[in-house]
Structure 1
Amino acid sequence: MKKANKNWLGKFSDPKACVGGLVAVLAVLGSLNAQAASCPEPRELEHRVQNTPNGGVAIYTSMDGLWHGENPGDTTDYSDEVGFKNVFINSDSQYVACSYEGKGLFSAVRLSLRWNTGRAITPEGGEWTDNTCHAQEAKDCRFN
């Protein structure tokens, strides 16, 4: 048993490996926070279809996997034809919702993000009114 602990600690005895590992972890955490500062652009959405007993469901996720949305009963991929409409912040439940709309009656996508930082979400820049921001592009409605 002591030998196993010694081998385990030996992996962390190389200072270069420890520093490199720490830098990699901090870079990943920093990029997640940067990605969550605004809604993803429509071209950054991934679409897949999930079959259910009641029919298909369109599943949308952001490329970083943080944003999720569903469109039950419609499997059409609208990510190429929608544009950013607005973002809504619900600070009490630490929830953010991004809405995208197209020209067709049903061409719409809505994504949500659970903001699990332990602090309230605050608007930053853009045209914010009552925790909702309307803009031409998602990057103009930032939050942190």
Structure 2
Amino acid sequence: MHATTGVGGGLSDEQRIESAAHGLLRDLGRLTRALLRAGEFGLTRSEVSVLDALAAAPLRVTELAAHAGMVQPRVTALLQKLEDRELVTRRRCTTDRRAVETSLTPAGRLLLDQGRQRMATALLSALHTTPIDDCERVVCAAQKSVATLAEAMEPEAT
């Protein structure tokens, strides 16, 4: 239903959301590029995405592909590059010998952790005129907002 309300200048709900979402993808992409530059990972966005997906626990290629929004052959190629750099290891799954699980190596975890720290430092620096408590609130609110939108769009991914 496209109800019209007094809030938002008489716009329908859909028009209000469209107005709020205008430029969201562009701005998220811009922020992602800036954070990856600040993180100085020395990796592509896709490679960092794979490392990030592995941060919580080892995953199978199919799970990684779903998490990263990539096709399996692309993930397999990325994993080979990351394995060559000794950032991930692959081994047969203990519960299903047909499957292969990938996990971060200590070097991969260190690279990810250091990059995240550089990203946090860059965010704090960019918000240098804002009091630290406000910086934390802004970053936490942005993270919660993005998580809420992601959950709404892909509820099964959590």
- Give me the TM-score of the superposition, normalised by structure 2: 0.28
- Give me the TM-score of the superposition, normalised by structure 1: 0.30
Structure with greater strand share of residues: 1
Structure index of larger Rg: 1
